[in-house]
Structure 1
Amino acid sequence: MGSKVGNNSYDYSFKILLIGDSGVGKSSILLSLISNSVHDPSPTIGVDFKIKLLTVGGKRLKLTIWDTAGQERFGTLTSSYYRGAHGIILVYDVTRRETFTNLSSVWAKEVELYSTNQDCVKILVGNKVDRDSERAVTREEGMILAQEHKCLFLECSAKNTEDVKQCFKDLLYKILEVPSLLEQGSAVVKNQILKQKEVQESARGGNCCS
């Protein structure tokens, strides 16, 4: 993926969700992308989101990446969390089988129930492949589940920033192929430009016309 882009200069703005059970490495994946370093983050309480500006396929993108605590159910928060998402990263831990089965029994159902974008792009990510000797879910099983839910598929280790970058790159290239998502992503940018103009005009006293 390309270098950072200017703070107020981008072609599309996309909302990306990280979902899955607690402890599967969602926050580590997010930290790895944002800071290119991995810490051992404390459990996310409520919802955390980060902004990432990058260039993919010659397009300047602003990503708002949302991470939520997998061990909690937020009720009213859930629908707003999913609303308007352009991409969803479903994460499981390849060493903990229950995190894999919960993707079908809990998380995929939530996506179906609450996601407002029919064309939303999903990627299934099996994390912690660096602990291959403890593996409880095979790569083949992951690929089959991804096919069932019409997801892209990738195995990675959040400790490897190249793995994490590849996950986001695969997701973003796919989003950039979907006309309806591009339209929504560019609409956000246009609205922000309009708001900036309104603020500038009001700062000048609103004398925009001679």
Structure 2
Amino acid sequence: MTDPYDFLLKWIIIGTSNCGKSCLLSRFVENKFKAGSAHTVGIEFGSKVVKIGNKAVKLQIWDSAGQERFRAVTRSYWRGAAGCLLVYDVTSRSSFTQLKGWLDDARALASPDVVVVLVGNKMDLEEYREVSFGEATEWANEEGLVHVETSALTGEGVEEAFLTGARSILSAIETGKIDPDRMGTGIQYGDLALLSHKSLSTEKRRGCCS
């Protein structure tokens, strides 16, 4: 049995190899550090139900390989994603300088309203840092992204990264910017939302007949 939820959000984690994408997924879903993990071959998957305000939200997360040879396979899973973690390694400048290409691809393939959170991973390795928090934040602001730093090793900031994006998506649903009934949003109603709609419809019918 899975936990009931109001909304299901399709999520992708993207970025170059060795920036810790699979470790972030493992830390978030299982609260474990994936020590000594090999490169992801193609796609890895995980899911978790989280509470945001009075809503239960299930994140359906697809972690894609960073190597170029898997590009055709992995990008097919990006279509219609509602949320995205765009990950770089704070100790690797090359992982940061390649972000623009990853972001452009995500915006081309994911939902038109995809929410992207820029994540600087491995903040625990401060002595090896090559990308400052300020520099990454400035780039994020230019691209209209939220920026957070994380450590998959310690768990610091990992849940915040996912929840920040999920809150933005829920806010867009509540304000009417995103309609979950529209194709390609990467959002589905869960059992709790469907029960709520049914209850509301029943009350309306009773009101009409009274």
SS of structure 1 residue aligned to 2:81: coil
TM-score (structure 1 length as normaliser):
0.80
Q: Is the 8 A contact 1:92 1:125 kept in 2?
A: yes
State the partner residue of 2:7.
Answer: 12
2:172 equivalent among 178, 185, 191:
178
Q: Offset of 1:80 from its aligned partner? A: 2.5
Residue type of the partner of 1:23? N
Distance 1:133 1:27, change over 3 A: same
State the partner residue of 1:53.
Answer: 49
State the partner residue of 1:97.
Answer: 93
Q: Is the 8 A contact 1:129 1:157 kept in 2?
A: yes
Distance 1:75 1:93, change over 3 A: closer
Could you list the runs of 4 or more consecutive aligned residues of structure 1 that deviate by over 6 angstroms after TM superposition?
A: none
Distance 1:132 1:60, change over 3 A: same
Residue type of the partner of 1:149? E
How many residue pairs match? The answer is 186
State the partner residue of 1:189.
Answer: 189
Distance 1:57 1:183, change over 3 A: farther
Gap regions ≥5 residues in structure 2:
195-210
SS of structure 2 residue aligned to 1:108: helix
> 2:16, 2:119 → 1: CA distance?
12
Residue type of the partner of 2:121? N
Q: Bigger CA drift: 36-45 or 121-130?
A: 36-45
Q: Is the 8 A contact 2:84 2:117 kept in 1?
A: yes
Q: Is the 8 A contact 2:91 2:128 kept in 1?
A: yes
State the partner residue of 2:148.
Answer: 154
Residue type of the partner of 1:101? T
Distance 1:186 1:82, change over 3 A: closer
TM-score (structure 2 length as normaliser):
0.80
**1:129 and 2:123 are equivalent in the alignment:** yes
Distance 1:71 1:187, change over 3 A: closer
Q: Offset of 1:181 from its aligned partner? A: 5.7
> 1:186, 1:123 → 2: CA distance?
16
State the partner residue of 2:206.
Answer: none
Map Cα deviations across residues 96-122 of structure 1 (whole Å, 9 max, x no partner): 000000001x2012113222x221111
> 2:187, 2:23 → 1: CA distance?
31
Gap regions ≥5 residues in structure 1:
1-5, 195-210
SS of structure 1 residue aligned to 2:39: coil
Q: Is the 8 A contact 1:21 1:92 kept in 2?
A: yes
> 1:190, 1:21 → 2: CA distance?
33
State the partner residue of 1:145.
Answer: 139
> 1:99, 1:119 → 2: CA distance?
25
Q: Is the 8 A contact 1:100 1:137 kept in 2?
A: yes
Q: Is the 8 A contact 1:86 1:181 kept in 2?
A: no
Q: Offset of 1:123 from its aligned partner? A: 0.4
> 1:154, 1:187 → 2: CA distance?
24
Q: Is the 8 A contact 1:175 1:181 kept in 2?
A: no
